[in-house]
Every structure is written in C-alpha cells, then in structure tokens.
Amino acid sequence: MVRRNRPCFVLRSGRLSEHRGPSVPTVSEATPVGRRRRPSGEPPPLPRDIHASTKWYVLALVVTAASTIAMVARPFFVGATDVDLAVLRAVERIRVSGLTTVMQRVNELGTSWVVQGLAWLTIAVLVVYRRFRYLAVYLLTLVAGTFGAFLLSRAIGRMRPTDVPILAGWEGYAYPARPVVAFSLVTVGAVYALVPSGTWRPRIKPIAAAAVGALVLARLYLAVDHPTDILAALAIGWAAPVVAFRWAAPEEAFPVTYHRGPHAHLDIGNRRRDAIITALNHQLGLTVVRIEPFGLTGSAGSTPLRLTVTRPDGTSLDLFAKLYALSHLRSDRWYKWGRTIAYGRLEDEKPFSTVRRLAEYEDHMLRLFRDVGMPSPAPFGFAEITPEREYVIVMEFFDGAMEIGAADIDAPVIDDALATVRRLWDAGVAHRDIKPSNLLVRDDRALLIDVAFATVRPTPWRQAVDLANMMLTLALSSSPEMVYERALLQFDPDDIAEAFAASHSITIPTQLRARLRDDGRGLLTAFRKLAPERARIPVQVWSIRRVAVTAGALVLVALGVGLAVAYVQLAGLL
C-alpha cells in the first residue's frame, strides 16, 4: 500500500506551481510494530567489543610500569635480582652443549637484520595496499616501543645477570630485554596490521607467539637477560602494540582485507547483521527479513545495503540503507581536508565530528528533500547500532530505476531532470554531487539520489554549478543543443551562462569528469558556446583555514617521514 506525498508548491520561473513528490510508503505502512525504547543499562544492538584479553594486556602494562618505578628502589631491585638469579641458576643446570648451539641460533631472531627485515616488509605491504592508518599505528608503536625501551634501560641501568655464565653476546643495559622488545614489536605489528581476522589471524598468532617464545627461552637459557627483563620486554613489545592496534585501528571499524575496491565497507557478518535487524526493529519498527550488500563498487563513503522488510499484509518491500561507521567518518574527514587543501574554501568543507552527526545530517537532508518535493528517496530514519560508532540510515529503494547513462532519454526526462535543479534553487538547496550515478530514470521520471553532500543556503555559484553538472550529465545521453534548448524553457539564458562560467574542472564530480573525457565531444565547450558569453567566475578562495590545513598536512607528512627516519636511527638501539 502506498500513498502519494501531499502536494507542495514550488516556484518555477517566478510562478507558483504544484508539484507532487514521489510515491513512497510510509514507515507505519511498511511495518507498524516492533518499536521499543532501550531501557537504561541495556546494551546496544552491537555492543563495542572489548576483547577480554585487552584488559589483561592493559593490566600487564600497568604492572610493568609499577615494577619499573619500583626497580629504582634498592629493596625491590635486590629482591627481583635474587629471584631472577635463582631462576637462571635453575636453567643453567639443564645446559648441554648441543642445546646451547641451538639456543644460540634461536637467539639470532632478535638480531637487527631479522627485525629490520620483518619491519620493512610489513611497511612495504602496508604502503602497497595503502593502509595508511595501520601504517601509522605500526610505525608509532615501533618507534615508541623501541625508544621507550631505550629510555627505560637508561633510567634503570641494570647490569647483566651475574653468577651465571652468559653464553651469548649482549649490548646495553639488561632491563628491559631490548631484542625481545624489538622482535615482539615487529611480529605482533605484522600480525595485527597484515593478517585478516577471522580464519587467518587465529592461525598465525600462535606461530608468532611461538617465535617470540623461542627467543625468550633462548635468552633465558643463555642467561643474557633476567626473567624480569624479559617480562618487561613482553609488556612493551607484545601487550602495548596489541592494545594500540585494538584502540586506534579496531578490527570492526578498519578490517584488514585484500580485496579490490574501496576498503571502507564493513563486513556484514552474522553478529552485525543480527544487530542491524534488532536495531531496525526496535528503533524504526521495520521487520527486516534480508540484508545484502548493494552497489559496493559505487560507494566508498558508507557500506550500502539492500534491505527486504515485510509489511503487515505479508508482502515484502525493498529499502536502501547505508551503514556509517568510524571508518566512514574518517574517510569523510580526509576527503574534506583534501578538498580544502586542493581547492580552497569552495563552500562548507568542515568535517563531521561524530558518526551520529553524519547520519543525522543525511537523514535531515532526506527529509528536507522530501519536504520540498524533490524526487529523492523517502527517509525512513536511522538507527543506532553501536553508540557513537555505527549507525544505519534507511531510505526508499528505487526498484527498477536505471542510471541515466544506461537509459534512453528524451525531452520529458530532460525536462524533469532540469526541473529538479529548478526546485533545488527555489528551495535554497544545492545537491553538490550531480553526476550520472546519482541521477536515475524510472518511468520517464528523473530521480536524484545520494543527498549526503547537499547543503542549505549554498553559495550562488554552487547553485549555478548544480545546473551545469545536470546539463552535462543529460548531454552525455543526448546532445548539448537539445539539453540547452530544453533548459531555456525553465531557466534564463543568463542563468545558464552563469552556470558554465562557474563550472571548472574542480566543480565537476570525478565520475562526471571521467565520462566527459571518454565522451570526447567537448560538451563543456559546446555549452559555453551556446550560452551567452560571461566572464569566468572565480570559485577558489584562499583562507586562513586553507593555509592552516595545508600547513597541518605538511607537518603530518613531515611527521610520517620523521617516524620512518626515526625508526632507521633507532635501529641501532634494537
């Protein structure tokens, strides 16, 4: 059961006219039951997963920090050394010549060339696969761990074991055991940065643990370090990077994958799928019977989904949904910073502060577009999956609609598409991302999707650019002459001249720019010839913000290079 949106009045060429929005089902008509407020104290649909082991790792770090401070005090130092030497004496009793040779070979795992080789291999893979977040965490843990161990060793100044013959070479103070720190850091870092969780990580982790364990046993056997030196080293080299990776690059938000295409998509596994179903039922009253990824290749800013919900009469309805998570928030932030640096203050490029704000904004825009009668997806609201981390926004699914490039278009479709720009202007809104993939056609109606970039009360040139991008998109499937002729029915020639005077390569979405290049007809030039002559409109503005963001980016790059250089310099400390 569907109903038509109530009519609304829009200004067209100075005259009020009636416009009817798209036919959409209401939320209550989709599924009226299921809504439920989450009581205080009840976990959200997908509680943030804090590994039980993370707490133990944090505890190990705290204990190590406390022990290190206590080491400065003579009684603790003496006590720890007594226990350490007792252990080493016990180990000494099992020494045999053949085993000693083996342990001396195993001890080479902690040598600089093994550690450096593993570290640079990991860095190379992370660079090749452009996993810069993991790279940053990896480099930071590597440098911080190595440098931290170096500082600790200077602060404590502990001697090597006495009373027991040392059977291998050593360098520097004993506490913490720096070769163990270095080997653990690169091994754990490689496991968490390179190995996908799920099937592979549980298999690889024991191998990494065995390698580190072998090095630990070898160093105890050879009496190069005290047991407490090694425990402190494991806290710095193993516990600290695990906590850092789980905190700064949580697997649920930044999964390690090696498939092609955008990396921003989240895995809709059983746990998340169940959480989405529960959230949509409790918060939006939707009874979801199927969730499937949809159009992943066309979206890097969210994880797009197609939902199938059942209505009270037993029939089903398809809906479109976008799953927003921290990774998408950060993608949006980098994208906007990039635009600010590259293009200056084109318009509002301030990033969103939280995932909730991102979902709220798009939901608001969907409702605004509906209210002004735009042919855009009807909003169904958004639901919270994990507070402040994951939200899913639901909207109408345009079943049977085709991308404009795949459809034959004629005058009615062109008129309808141009009318959407007219309506945007009248409502004081700019879509800001008009391109072939965001303009669908169904039953001779043009449908405008993806309103996430839309803005209210935009700059005048930004509104003009919406018209230019719409005309260019339409001309790809027809001719510039035809589109220009139809545009004159709804816009003044001066409006069209302004649109193409404001149109620069930076104002044209990447996909549209690529299609124009492939088309080869010089559509932008053709439109400029058809429209009255007008001087180009400057759209890039230098601002303090642009200078500051550019300077900040340069500092970040310098910091990244500095980290790599610092690691090379610190290699001598490993």
Partner 1 sequence: MTPASRTRAFIAIVLMPFIALSISGCAEVEGAAPRCDEARRLAVVAQSVPGAAYIPCLRDLRPGWSASDFDPQSGGTHFSLVSDRDPDHEIAIEFRAACDVAGATATTPRADGARTYLQLRSISPRYAGTLMDVFSGGCVSYRFDFARGPHIGLIDDFENQVGLLARRELALTLRTSYDVELGP
- What's the CA gap between 232 and 17, in Å, rounded? 76
Using the minimum distance from each CB to partner 1, give the nearer residue, 123 or 440. Answer: 123
Q: Contact between 148 and partner 1 (CB under 8 A)?
A: yes
Residue appearing with tokens 């407490």: 228
Q: Contact between 423 and partner 1 (CB under 8 A)?
A: no
Minimum distance between the CB of residue 388 and partner 1, rounded to whole angstroms?
6
Q: Contact between 103 and partner 1 (CB under 8 A)?
A: no
Length of the chain: 574
Q: Contact between 169 and partner 1 (CB under 8 A)?
A: yes
Minimum distance between the CB of residue 333 and partner 1, rounded to whole angstroms?
9
Q: What binding mask, one character per residue, do residues 374-413 give for partner 1 by CB under 8 A, x or -?
A: --------------xx------------------------
Is 317 strand, coil or helix?
Answer: strand
Which two three-digit tokens encode residue 142?
């590597």
According to DSSP, the residues that pair with 323 across neighbouring strands are 303, 392
Using the minimum distance from each CB to partner 1, give the nearer residue, 34 or 387. Answer: 387
Binding partner 1 (rule: CB under 8 A), the pick from 170, 294, 335, 361 is 170
User: Which residues are CB-contacts of 325 (< 8 A; sequence separation ≥ 6)?
Assistant: 252, 253, 266, 303, 355, 389, 390
User: Which residues are CB-contacts of 283 (< 8 A; sequence separation ≥ 6)?
Assistant: 35, 381, 383, 384
Q: Contact between 144 and partner 1 (CB under 8 A)?
A: yes
Binding partner 1 (rule: CB under 8 A), the pick from 27, 140, 211, 564 is 140
Binding partner 1 (rule: CB under 8 A), the pick from 57, 134, 138, 150 is 150
- What's the CA gap between 116 and 574, in Å, rounded? 9
Q: Quick check: 221 and 99 in contact, CB under 8 A?
A: yes
Q: Contact between 172 and partner 1 (CB under 8 A)?
A: yes
Phi/psi for 178 (5° steps) reads -65, -35
Residue span binding partner 1 (CB under 8 A) among the ranges 58-66, 98-106, 139-147, 469-477: 139-147
Residue span binding partner 1 (CB under 8 A) among the ranges 36-44, 155-163, 267-275, 442-450: 155-163
Minimum distance between the CB of residue 190 and partner 1, rounded to whole angstroms?
19
Q: Contact between 570 and partner 1 (CB under 8 A)?
A: yes
- H/E element holding 403? strand 402-403
Minimum distance between the CB of residue 254 and partner 1, rounded to whole angstroms?
11
Using the minimum distance from each CB to partner 1, give the nearer residue, 78 or 121. Answer: 78
Q: Contact between 360 and partner 1 (CB under 8 A)?
A: no
Binding partner 1 (rule: CB under 8 A), the pick from 174, 222, 239, 256 is 174
Residue appearing with tokens 């009255």: 532
Using the minimum distance from each CB to partner 1, give the nearer residue, 157 or 261. Answer: 157
Using the minimum distance from each CB to partner 1, give the nearer residue, 168 or 448. Answer: 168
Q: What binding mask, one character per residue, do residues 22-61 give for partner 1 by CB under 8 A, x or -?
A: ----------------------------------------
Q: Quick check: 175 and 76 in contact, CB under 8 A?
A: no
Q: What is the dihedral of CA 469, 475, 476, 479, to 10 degrees?
A: -160
Contact set for partner 1, span 289-328 (CB under 8 A): 326
Binding partner 1 (rule: CB under 8 A), the pick from 58, 63, 87, 166 is 166
Q: Contact between 491 and partner 1 (CB under 8 A)?
A: no
Minimum distance between the CB of residue 150 and partner 1, rounded to whole angstroms?
7
- What's the CA gap between 266 and 213, in Å, rounded? 34
Binding partner 1 (rule: CB under 8 A), the pick from 54, 308, 310, 354 is 354
Minimum distance between the CB of residue 138 and partner 1, rounded to whole angstroms?
12
- H/E element holding 178? helix 178-194
Q: Contact between 361 and partner 1 (CB under 8 A)?
A: no
Using the minimum distance from each CB to partner 1, give the nearer residue, 67 or 310. Answer: 67
Secondary structure of 417-477 in the HEC alphabet? HHHHHHHHHHHCEECCCCCHHHEEEECCEEEECCCCCCEECCCHHHHHHHHHHHHHHHHHC
Is 282 strand, coil or helix?
Answer: helix
Contact set for partner 1, span 186-245 (CB under 8 A): 244
Q: How many residues bind partner 1 (CB under 8 A)?
A: 43
Using the minimum distance from each CB to partner 1, give the nearer residue, 245 or 484. Answer: 245
Using the minimum distance from each CB to partner 1, give the nearer residue, 141 or 281. Answer: 141
Cα 383–chain centre separation: 19
Minimum distance between the CB of residue 141 and partner 1, rounded to whole angstroms?
8
Q: Contact between 111 and partner 1 (CB under 8 A)?
A: no
Minimum distance between the CB of residue 248 and partner 1, rounded to whole angstroms?
6
Closest alpha carbon to 496 in 527, 462, 522, 457? 527
- H/E element holding 321? strand 316-325
Pairing of strands 379-386, 390-396: antiparallel
Using the minimum distance from each CB to partner 1, give the nearer residue, 207 or 555. Answer: 555
Q: Contact between 77 and partner 1 (CB under 8 A)?
A: yes
Secondary structure of 335-358 in the HEC alphabet? HHHHHHHHHCCCCCCCCCCCHHHH
Q: Quick check: 447 and 441 in contact, CB under 8 A?
A: yes
Q: From residue 52, give the alpha-carbon distance in Å to each of 56, 59, 378.
A: 7, 11, 42
Phi/psi for 11 (5° steps) reads -90, 120
Q: Contact between 63 and partner 1 (CB under 8 A)?
A: no
- What's the CA gap between 189 and 55, in Å, rounded? 19
Minimum distance between the CB of residue 522 and partner 1, rounded to whole angstroms?
45
According to DSSP, the residues that pair with 456 across neighbouring strands are 429
Using the minimum distance from each CB to partner 1, give the nearer residue, 232 or 244. Answer: 244
Contact residues toward partner 1 (CB under 8 A) are 74, 77-78, 81-82, 140-141, 143-144, 147-148, 150-151, 154, 157-160, 162-163, 166, 168-174, 244, 247-248, 326, 329, 353-354, 388-389, 559, 562, 566, 569-570, 573
